[in-house]
Structure 1
Amino acid sequence: MFDFIRNHKRLMLILLALLIVPGLGLVGVQGFRGFFDNGANVAEVSGSKITRQEYDALLKEQLERMREMFGGAVNTAAVDTPVLRQILLDSLIQQRILADEAKRQRLSASDEAVRKTILEIPALGALRKSDGSIDTEKYHDLLAKQGMTPEQFDARVRRSLAIAQIGDSIEASALAPKSSAAQLAQLSMQQREMRELVLHPLDYSAEVKPTEEQLKQYYDTHQKEFETPETATISYAILSAEILAASITPSEEELKKAYQDNLATYQTAKQVRASHILIATPKADTVASAKAKAEALLAQLRKQPGQFAEMARNESQDPGSAARGGDLGYFAAGMMVKPFEEAAFKLKPNEISGLVQSDFGYHIIKVTEIKPAQTRPLSEVKQTLLSDLKKQQATQRFAAAADQFSNLVYEQTNSLTPAAEKFNLVVQTATVARQAMPAPTAVPALANPQFLAAVFESETLKGKHNTAAIEVGDNTLIAAHVTAHKPASVLPFETVKQGVQQKVTLLQAAELTRKAGEEKLASLQQSKSTAGFSPVIKLSRAGARGLTPAAVSAIFKADAEQLPQYVSAILDGGVYAIYRVESLSPLPELEPQRLTALQQQLAQLTGQLELNAYLASLRARSKVKIYATENAAASE
């Protein structure tokens, strides 16, 4: 995959730009709007506004893409993070800055470049006809579903191509000397032979006897470690289209009507399986000779029809089917060129056609099998149709139900029971913390940041009122009522004393380990001893054998001119490791192809770094304002 991206950087930049630039529909997402102020804009670039609608459209695209990737099982709460929101906002700002720069530099793209780029988009592969052209009607329909005309999409692609030229020009100018690539290769391939000696804090813990005063001092200065989070015990009710669907039973009349309305979905068109012999006509002056040859073959087949497959293998000029005796497999109407298709669908099984001329040449066709059109009966698709109808009707009812649910929760503010009874919902109980726990919850809605913020509002806690109905996903609302509240508190010292003692003991043992390790290191540097060390281990930067980055860094910093060398590193848990670097293994010969590839990778990396620096300078020169209240500065 990385090779594909590296080899198709231009296409990938364009596709990313097409995906990032918003505009596929202006759909608000209520659950994310708390990120912005009450204005209609989220940011401004050199006086040009980036609207909340643009942001919401981009957010909707990202969520839809995630649902497609993960089969619809997306926990909205898990992706509603400040990091994601900042990434989306930054992408919009960067696209606007790049568009302004492309306009300033008068960059554009030719009609041919726009057409070529559109034809390379993978999603359009399904719209290709058998002759390789794009089905114009389906193409228009696809764009219409995205709220665009072909002209608007062309303009978007043209703008993306113009923007891509900025990155292309910078990255194409980046160079990496062969000497740098060779030096990097030597460093990456170098192997060092070393031994390891490890000192563990547990070996020194028996020597540690922390005093009561030391324990209390640690407790007083690390109280956050012993704090219980603020929690609330709640009753809650969830209204969703899925819940509504459970109470819906479509009638037989509705099922029959839906079946008839979608009859094409349950129909399989007539298909034929055919073989052919093709005598190609690559040039106009070959038509007559090709026809003569085809007529001779046809005459021979009339006498010996059983020789069709053998003749196809020997005489057919279609490289795709000749080896299979001319077999083209099954195909339905619309899958072959028109003259070929019309002739094939008129033939009976084992019947051989006359000469059929197409743009490819002269065909002799033999139909081997026919699959008649079939329609799956209602009884066979009833369960699927029933499920689809229930979902469809539930979605239609949800909008009105959501308004009623929200009103009841607000009007009957002291209880969720009226709203639950109205929609046959189950009122459940749970304990939630103000800050959502990192572990996944069985009910994703309970970890939604907007929902938790509503639960811990002062009006909800002090007034004992219902929360508002909070949107936590597509067609899903949740409301809660707090029955008990427990503020955050620090556990008493006596309660956590044992845990404090363990922490202080480990810290003091780690300090003893460090001192002992430093003394041992100093002694070894004098004696050059190998006593207590492990057997020799061969190590390279690429093959770190589970060592930490700190250990690898220390080992490769050892002066190769003065071996053996002793170096140390403090590992996780206060472990003190000493390494005896003994020798360097001979470097393998570097293949020219690998050196060239590494030089190209270095050039790409240099180009990317230069592009990042250029983008940063563009942003610094642009007047950017962010109207965000969370995790963003008021302006830049």
Structure 2
Amino acid sequence: MLEFFRRHSKIMMILMFVVTLPSFVFFGVADYQSFTTNEVRLVNINEQKITQSDFNQSWTQRLNELRNSQGAEFDLSKVDTAEGREAWLESLINNAVTQEVAQKDNFSASDAMVRFALAQTPDFLEDGKFSMQAYNRYLTSIGANSQQYEASVRAYEGLRLVASPVLESVVVPSNTVAQLGAAMTEERTVRLHVFQNKDYAQSVNVSDDDLKNWYTANEKSFEVPTYVNLDYIILNQDAVMAQVKAPSDAELETYYQSNIARFSTAERRHVRHIQLADLATAEQVATKAEQDPSQFEALAKEYSQDAGTKNTGGDLGVLARGDIPDLDEGAFSLAKEGITSPVKIANNYHVFQIVSIQAGSVKPFAEVKEEISKEVRLQLASERFATMATDLTNAVHEQRDSLQGVADRLGLQVQTVNGITRSGLLSKEQVGNQAAAGTALESMFSSPRVREAAFSAEVFAQGLNSGVIEISPSELLALRVKAKVDAHIPKLEEVKAQVTAKVIDAKAKELAAKAGEAELAEAQLDNSTAGFQEAMPVSRMASNLPEALLKKVMSAPVDKLPFYVGVDLDTGYVVARIESVNTENAELKNLFNQFQAPALGTVVANELNKAFAQNLRQKVKLEILPAAKQVIEGEQAQ
């Protein structure tokens, strides 16, 4: 639906860093500078500076905020990137520049503005009202007093006085919205004729020279990133169960007898009854029922005073003992089917008909022995798991330099898995049979938390055991780097099968493109739909077409239809036949007006914010030093 956001996910990831700045930016930088006079400078803004320490501390805080907000979904490798660090440094620079301009031009927030800002801060509210207790707790948590914090709020509000008038004046012209809406909601009907590379692969011949030449030109694409092979121990149900001894037959027999009801099927009876107020009438009705049991339902409709069952012939359904406790005395008084004598229950008399009896049963011990054994072992394992979890946590910290020692202490097994990178898993073809990718271990070791732990300073650089990583409440992991493998490009012999596949695909792609181009030329002459798929509607807002194909289809002239376009894609060549245009799709217009049009102001404001920040930079003496580039690249400047 919102195609822009789907196609520009990297942009949205960077915006995540700069849209919400932590309090450090406004409160921390100024304070930290008094302690970092000898720090490596990254940026000078007049007399103000941003140091390496300022950046590191604010960036760490931002990463922690994202980690806390995203939980298990947080992936450090996708966040702590050069693009992310650069965007964050730019935001620090813009903030510092704005602060300089605010001070120079005497922009200052009033006491009333500070009080209002504090009163609107969610962290300081309880039951919707400002709470001094909550405010004090927050100040304690950040290690500041009220004067320091309120000074930072005053400074921040002063910055807003500089920028807000510009940003709040953003109005997207209605004509612009209308034109964009028309482009986004225009719908075109197309048919596709697809020439897939794979359909031409069998026609391809590959020589050794082809492989060598292709590999030489593309060897960089086979580069294997730095990865680790890990030793690990896992504490889960299976691991604990392996340590739980099977109970003896005597113990299982005792458990069976204590829980016999669970292995028993109770006797059940189909029962009817007639409720009467006096004994004489009850005896008369019982006699008639005994003489002709088939008349019991008719007698119930005539005599019964139980309004709930009278019209259904007194039917109570199929009952087990205890389903209706008050009726057990009568319903279970006969040993076989039949009519009971009147039974007094409370102030009434009941005549029962036992229509049928389903005998109860008890599963013999031999039949349920294995089930009971597993159940008992699971209970014992559950109890033992809690103890072992505590022991594991203690052991990995007490014995940091050996995972085998931890395993021996807990009776667990050290296992090995290969091919873990900072951003994902390598394939079996790249790292061998112990690869996690494509196995039951994939979800565990592709977890951002596990990868982050594997490449943490303690584990990756210092070679220590990780702490306990909770995969789930019943599955705990500890790991250690067994081997580090630096980034490298494998030799042709090591990737010959993959290179062969690539060469075949490249040559097949050429054949597919040649066939597609021929079809495009022919279709433009005869307007035939032969070989084309069913017609389907596409638009910039709703389409499953590859981006390159969609762009070509939606930008093609439509003054004379049908119109044909051809696009060479990674998977093959596609000829698209544009047959009609619809500019009045009410559903697409509604989606645009509801979702995309309101977002235009934000997009424009963001662009205006960038331009405004650049304008403010011209008002100060700004110097971005070489050390900034090193920090952006993840290095520490000296």
Q: Choose the corresponding residue for 1:560, options 558, 570, 588.
A: 558
Matching residue of 1:218: 214
Counterpart-to-counterpart distance in 1, 2:19 and 2:503: 55
Q: Partner letter of residue 454 of structure 2?
A: A
TM-aligned CA distance change 1:197 to 1:184, over 3 Å: same
Shift of the alpha carbon at 1:14?
Answer: 12
Counterpart-to-counterpart distance in 1, 2:536 and 2:20: 45
Q: 1:333-368 CA distances to partner (integer Å, 9 max, x unpaired)?
A: xxxxxxxxxxxxxxxxxxxxxxxxxxxxxxxxxxxx
Q: Secondary structure at the match of 2:20?
A: helix
The reply to whether residue 19 of structure 1 matches residue 23 of structure 2 is yes
Matching residue of 1:499: 498
Counterpart mapping for 1:470-619 below 5 A: 488=488, 490-493=490-493, 496-544=495-543, 546-573=544-571, 575-587=572-584, 601-619=599-617
Matching residue of 1:112: 112
Does the 8 Å contact 1:45/1:622 carry over to 2? yes
Shift of the alpha carbon at 1:179?
Answer: 2.2
* Greater radius of gyration (CA): 2
Matching residue of 1:121: 121
Q: 1:74-130 CA distances to partner (integer Å, 9 max, x unpaired)?
A: 7777765444444443333332122112223322222222212221112222276xx
Q: Partner letter of residue 104 of structure 1?
A: K
TM-aligned CA distance change 1:27 to 1:97, over 3 Å: closer
Does the 8 Å contact 2:124/2:134 carry over to 1? no
Q: Secondary structure at the match of 1:204?
A: helix
Does the 8 Å contact 1:77/1:472 carry over to 2? no
Counterpart-to-counterpart distance in 2, 1:153 and 1:62: 19
Matching residue of 1:50: 50
Q: 1:225-263 CA distances to partner (integer Å, 9 max, x unpaired)?
A: 55666777687999xxxxxxxxxxxxxxxxxxxxxxxxx
Counterpart-to-counterpart distance in 2, 1:417 and 1:531: 66
Counterpart-to-counterpart distance in 1, 2:127 and 2:597: 40
Matching residue of 1:448: 455
Matching residue of 1:438: 424
> How many positions carry a matched residue from both structures?
435
Does the 8 Å contact 1:192/1:582 carry over to 2? yes
TM-aligned CA distance change 1:419 to 1:426, over 3 Å: same
Does the 8 Å contact 1:195/1:536 carry over to 2? yes
Counterpart mapping for 1:125-524 below 5 A: 125-126=125-126, 132=129, 134-225=130-221, 436=422, 438-439=424-425, 441=445, 443-444=450-451, 447-448=454-455, 450=457, 454=461, 488=488, 490-493=490-493, 496-524=495-523
Counterpart-to-counterpart distance in 2, 1:480 and 1:622: 46
TM-aligned CA distance change 1:222 to 1:100, over 3 Å: same
Counterpart-to-counterpart distance in 2, 1:14 and 1:77: 18
Q: Partner letter of residue 438 of structure 1?
A: G
Does the 8 Å contact 1:227/1:488 carry over to 2? yes
Counterpart-to-counterpart distance in 2, 1:500 and 1:418: 40
Counterpart-to-counterpart distance in 2, 1:500 and 1:579: 31
Unaligned runs of 5+ in 2: 3-15, 235-385, 426-443, 470-477
Q: 1:148-198 CA distances to partner (integer Å, 9 max, x unpaired)?
A: 222222222222222223332222333433222222222222121221111
Matching residue of 1:40: 39
TM-score after normalising by structure 2: 0.55
TM-aligned CA distance change 1:211 to 1:520, over 3 Å: same
Q: Partner letter of residue 532 of structure 1?
A: G
Shift of the alpha carbon at 1:419?
Answer: 10
- The range that moved more, 594-603 or 575-584, is 594-603
Shift of the alpha carbon at 1:526?
Answer: 1.8
Counterpart-to-counterpart distance in 2, 1:627 and 1:141: 38
Matching residue of 1:330: none
Q: CA RMSD in A?
A: 5.2
Q: Partner letter of residue 160 of structure 2?
A: A
Matching residue of 2:632: 631
Q: Secondary structure at the match of 2:541?
A: coil
TM-score after normalising by structure 1: 0.55
Does the 8 Å contact 1:230/1:487 carry over to 2? yes
TM-aligned CA distance change 1:168 to 1:483, over 3 Å: closer
Shift of the alpha carbon at 1:199?
Answer: 1.1
Unaligned runs of 5+ in 1: 3-11, 29-36, 239-386, 410-415, 456-466
Does the 8 Å contact 1:202/1:509 carry over to 2? yes
TM-aligned CA distance change 1:17 to 1:98, over 3 Å: farther
Does the 8 Å contact 2:226/2:486 carry over to 1? yes
- The range that moved more, 107-116 or 617-626, is 617-626
Shift of the alpha carbon at 1:510?
Answer: 0.4
Counterpart-to-counterpart distance in 2, 1:16 and 1:229: 32
Matching residue of 1:332: none
TM-aligned CA distance change 1:528 to 1:86, over 3 Å: same
Q: Partner letter of residue 180 of structure 1?
A: T
Q: 1:425-446 CA distances to partner (integer Å, 9 max, x unpaired)?
A: 9996757679646136385466
Q: Secondary structure at the match of 2:192?
A: strand
TM-aligned CA distance change 1:14 to 1:430, over 3 Å: closer
Matching residue of 1:622: 622
Does the 8 Å contact 1:77/1:449 carry over to 2? no
Counterpart-to-counterpart distance in 2, 1:519 and 1:102: 65
Shift of the alpha carbon at 1:577?
Answer: 0.9
Does the 8 Å contact 1:434/1:453 carry over to 2? no
Counterpart-to-counterpart distance in 1, 2:491 and 2:119: 65
Q: Secondary structure at the match of 1:222?
A: helix
